[in-house]
């Protein structure tokens, strides 16, 4: 009998040693609880993960030791605890969104499984809890989450950029088609005029007087001129749109430059008077002369074109904060209110121009050139009272200006 007991004891001791070995060797924390929630056994990994000595844990309430507070630091009532629920209800609970607290007051994210333990009569006698520190996993998850969010954000941004670019492209295509239609329409007028004059000349050659013939021919000439000018201006616009403009830079005295433009204009329009006025005696700047010449000449030509010869035109030059201000003022026919908002659109002409020749492209080109120079243009006008055009161009003064 004694021998039998001894063998059972030995077997039990062996079994206990085996269990102990298993408990000691696993990396996960393992502890057992009785029905009151007090520790019945604990493995070295569990004690080390929470910074306690194994012996100090036996018999203690594990909830009070490592599960007393929630991740945000607020109290975690025992009644809500999944570990206790497991052995009260007899179900296995697996949780990975809570923290366990160390002896030093710090905490770590944990994944635990609480499994109810039964005795041979199938009565609940407590639970076994296995847990592991999942700091690294949470860190990886959060890095992955923020990388995903960043990626999603970038995809959203890129998609919206693409759809914006698409929209712009669509708009550009529509603008192009409208422009081509406008060009065709504008060419049709002079072409019709030419066709009419030529066919009249042909059909009534004998009946027409020499004077009438000259009139038809000069009509042809005017319309050819108009088409030539339109073609040249369209070529400029086409060049700006396709190739852009390579800005060149020349050192000039802006005062002399303006005086020269006025003199040139007087030669073309000897009937009109342009008064140039400035308080500056000499202003040395670096600028693309060709663009600036085109801008000023276009505006001055408009003033001449849309004013009667008896009303002189005022041209003023100012310079402040590294910006040249050109003010051109006339007392001509002015621009109707309904036209002024469209005045920079290609082919747009005021409804009061009557028979003054023009293509309606000049201001469109001027606006493009002013933009290229980084400047601005403002137009104000009143019908029959005149027009005021202000052009502001950033122009740094030139230091090493050539003498003479």
Ligand X SMILES: Nc1ncnc2c1ncn2[C@@H]1O[C@H](COP(=O)(O)OP(=O)(O)OP(=O)(O)O)[C@@H](O)[C@H]1O
Q: What is the DSSP string of 153-213?
A: HHHHHHHHHHHHHHHHHHHHHHHHHHHHHHHHHHHHHHHHHHHHHHHHHHHTTTTS-HHHH
Site for ligand X (CB under 6 A): which residue of 360, 373, 377, 392?
360
Are 282 and 311 in contact by the 8 Å Cβ rule? The answer is: no
Site for Mg ion (CB under 5 A): which residue of 127, 302, 307, 381?
302
- Nearer Cβ to ligand X (295/363): 363
Q: Which residues contact 227 (CB under 8 A, 6 or more apart)?
A: 187, 190, 191
DSSP SS3 for 380: strand
Residue 26 touches which member of ligand X, Mg ion, none, C-beta under 5-8 Å by kind = none
- Nearer Cβ to ligand X (38/301): 301
Closest separation in Å from C-beta 386 to ligand X: 7
Closest separation in Å from C-beta 387 to ligand X: 4
Residue 127 touches which member of Mg ion, ligand X, none, C-beta under 5-8 Å by kind = none
Chain positions 326 to 365 lying near Mg ion, rule: CB under 5 A, are 362
Whose structure tokens read 């659109």?
Answer: 345
Q: Which stretch binds Mg ion (CB under 5 A): 166-174, 228-236, 300-308, 319-327?
A: 300-308
Q: Which ranges of 269-376 would DSSP assign to H, the alpha helix? A: 289-305, 337-340, 362-372
> With the C-alpha atoms ordered 286, 290, 294, 296, is the resulting torsion angle positive or negative?
positive
Binding mask 272-311 for ligand X (x = CB under 6 A): ------------------------------xx--x-----
Does residue 358 belong to the site contacting ligand X (CB under 6 A)?
yes
Task: Report DSSP state, residue 318.
Answer: E
Burial class (CB in 10 A: 0-12, 13-18, 19+), 236: middle
Closest separation in Å from C-beta 315 to ligand X: 12
Site for ligand X (CB under 6 A): which residue of 93, 359, 375, 377?
359
Residue 186 touches which member of Mg ion, ligand X, none, C-beta under 5-8 Å by kind = none
User: Rounded distance, CA 233 to CA 237, Å?
Assistant: 6
Residue among 306, 326, 308 nearest 317 (CA): 326
- Nearer Cβ to ligand X (83/366): 366
User: Rounded distance, CA 117 to CA 29, Å?
Assistant: 17
Q: Site for ligand X (CB under 6 A): how many residues?
A: 21
Rounded to 5 degrees, φ, ψ at 279 are -90, -5
User: Rounded distance, CA 179 to CA 348, Å?
Assistant: 12
Binding mask 362-381 for Mg ion (x = CB under 5 A): x-------------------
Closest separation in Å from C-beta 298 to Mg ion: 6
Does residue 350 belong to the site contacting ligand X (CB under 6 A)?
yes
Closest separation in Å from C-beta 183 to ligand X: 13
Q: Which ranges of 204-285 would DSSP assign to H, the alpha helix? A: 210-242, 254-268
Write a three-state SS string for 123-141.
CEEEEEEEEEECHHHHHHH
Which position's Cβ is nearest ligand X?
362
> With the C-alpha atoms ordered 209, 213, 216, 219, is the resulting torsion angle positive or negative?
negative
Rounded to 5 degrees, φ, ψ at 40 are -105, -35
- Nearer Cβ to ligand X (152/241): 241
Residue among 224, 222, 220 nearest 202 (CA): 220
- Nearer Cβ to Mg ion (117/292): 292
Chain positions 186 to 245 lying near ligand X, rule: CB under 6 A, are 233
Are 316 and 326 in contact by the 8 Å Cβ rule? The answer is: yes
Residue 291 touches which member of Mg ion, ligand X, none, C-beta under 5-8 Å by kind = none
Residue 359 touches which member of Mg ion, ligand X, none, C-beta under 5-8 Å by kind = ligand X
Does residue 313 belong to the site contacting ligand X (CB under 6 A)?
no
Residue 336 touches which member of Mg ion, ligand X, none, C-beta under 5-8 Å by kind = none
Chain positions 317 to 346 lying near ligand X, rule: CB under 6 A, are 330, 332-335, 343
Interface residues with Mg ion (CB under 5 A) are 302, 362
Interface residues with ligand X (CB under 6 A) are 233, 302-303, 306, 330, 332-335, 343, 349-350, 353, 358-364, 387
């Amino acid at each position: 009998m004694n021998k039998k007991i001894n063998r059972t004891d030995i077997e039990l001791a062996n079994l206990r040693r085996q269990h102990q070995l298993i408990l000691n060797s696993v990396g996960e924390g393992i502890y057992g609880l009785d029905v009151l929630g007090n520790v019945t056994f604990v493995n070295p990994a569990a004690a080390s993960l929470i910074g306690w000595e194994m012996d100090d844990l036996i018999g203690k309430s594990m909830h009070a030791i490592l599960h007393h507070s929630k991740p945000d630091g607020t109290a975690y009532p025992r009644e809500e605890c999944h570990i206790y629920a497991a052995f009260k209800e007899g179900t296995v609970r697996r949780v990975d969104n809570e923290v366990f607290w160390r002896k030093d007051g710090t905490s770590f994210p944990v994944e635990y499984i609480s499994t109810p333990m039964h005795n041979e009569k199938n009565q609940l006698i407590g639970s076994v809890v296995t847990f592991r520190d999942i700091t690294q996993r949470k860190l990886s998850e959060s890095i992955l989450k923020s990388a995903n969010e960043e990626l999603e954000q970038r995809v959203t941004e890129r998609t919206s950029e693409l759809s914006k670019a698409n929209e712009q492209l669509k708009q550009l295509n529509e603008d192009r088609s409208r422009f081509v239609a406008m060009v065709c329409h504008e060419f049709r007028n002079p072409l019709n005029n030419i066709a009419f004059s030529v066919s009249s000349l042909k059909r009534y050659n004998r009946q027409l007087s020499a004077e009438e013939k000259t009139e038809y021919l000069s009509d042809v000439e005017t319309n050819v001129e108009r088409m030539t000018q339109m073609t040249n201006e369209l070529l400029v616009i086409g060049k700006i749109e396709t190739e852009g403009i390579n800005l060149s830079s020349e050192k000039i005295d802006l005062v002399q430059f303006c005086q020269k433009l006025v003199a040139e204009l007087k030669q073309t329009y000897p009937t009109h008077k342009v008064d140039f006025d400035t308080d500056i005696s000499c202003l040395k700047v670096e600028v693309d002369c060709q663009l600036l010449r085109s801008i000023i000449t276009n505006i001055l030509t408009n003033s001449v074109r849309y004013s009667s010869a008896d009303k002189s035109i005022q041209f003023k030059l100012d310079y402040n904060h590294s910006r040249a201000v050109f003010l051109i003022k006339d007392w001509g026919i002015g621009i109707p209110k309904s036209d002024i908002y469209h005045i920079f659109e290609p082919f747009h002409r005021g409804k009061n121009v009557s028979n003054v020749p023009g293509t309606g492209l000049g201001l469109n080109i001027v606006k493009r050139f002013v933009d290229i120079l980084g400047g601005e243009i403002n137009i104000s006008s009143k019908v029959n009272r005149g027009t005021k055009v202000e052009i502001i161009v950033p122009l740094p003064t030139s230091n090493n200006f050539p003498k003479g």
